[in-house]
Amino acid sequence: MALTLNINGQIYPVTAAPDTPLLWVLRDELKMTGTKYGCGIAQCGACTVQADGQPIRSCQTPIQAAQGVKITTIEGLGGNHPLQTAWVKHDVPQCGYCQSGQLMSAAALLAAKPKPTDQDIDDAMSGNICRCGTYQRIRAAIKDASGQGPTATPLLATTAA
C-alpha cells in the first residue's frame, strides 16, 4: 500500500512503511538531503519543513500523517527567496548544517508576518538550534529580508586604528 507525498509541488509515490518519519523518506528514499537529521525528537529544528505553509518537524511526522498535505522543503524554497539572498549577504552560515531548518522556519514566519518584531523572531526561531551561534546574523538577515534591516554590507568587525 504505497503512499504518495506532495513535495514542492510534485507527487512522489514512496515505498516506505506508513509509520516512517517523513525525514527519512525525504533523505533516504527521495534523496532530498537538504533537510537534516539533528535530534530525532523535535528539539533542534534541523529537520524543519513546511506542511501547508506551517513549519513542522519532519523527524516526528510519519508519512501517513503527511497525506494530502503540501510539503515544502529547502529544495522548494527556490534559491532566490529573499531570505536566502539575505542569508548569503550576511554570511549567516558557519557549519551550515542547521540552516535549512532555520530558513524553513524563517520563511514560514515571514509568510505570516511580513514585518516581524524581535519578539516575533524569538518566538518563531527559538525552536531551531544553531550550535555555531549564528543567531545574531539570522536575526539581521530576517530583518533585512523583511525590509527592516541594514541594506549595506553588515560588516560588524571594525579594525581599530
Alpha-carbon distance of 36 to 24, in angstroms, equals: 9
> The C-alpha cell of 25 is what?
523518506
- Contact stretch for another protein (CB under 8 A) within 6-14, 50-58, 143-151, 153-161: 153-161
Alpha-carbon distance of 16 to 1, in angstroms, equals: 10
By CB under 8 A, name the one of 5, 7, 14, 16 that touches another protein. 16
By CB under 8 A, name the one of 2, 9, 31, 151 that touches another protein. 31
In the complex with another protein, the residue whose CB is nearer, 46 or 51, is 46
Q: Which value, to the nearest 10 degrees, does the dihedral of the CA atoms of residues 122, 124, 126, 129 take?
A: -130
148 binds another protein (CB under 8 A): no
158 binds another protein (CB under 8 A): yes
In the numeric block, the cell 510519519 is attached to 62
> The C-alpha cell of 131 is what?
550550535
137 binds another protein (CB under 8 A): yes
Cβ pair 44, 128 in contact under 8 A: yes
Question: Which positions from 67 to 96 touch another protein by CB under 8 A, shown as an x/- string?
Answer: ------xxx-x-x----x--xx--xxxxxx
Site for another protein in 49-68 (CB under 8 A): none
Which residues, other chains included, contact 2 with Cβ-Cβ below 8 Å and sequence gap of 6+? 13, 14, 15
Alpha-carbon distance of 2 to 54, in angstroms, equals: 25
3-7/70-72 β-pairing: parallel
129 binds another protein (CB under 8 A): yes
- Closest approach of Cβ 80 to another protein, in Å? 9
Contacts with another protein by CB under 8 A lie at 16-17, 20-21, 24, 27-29, 31, 33-41, 43-44, 46, 73-75, 77, 79, 84, 87-88, 91-100, 103, 121-123, 125-139, 153, 155-161
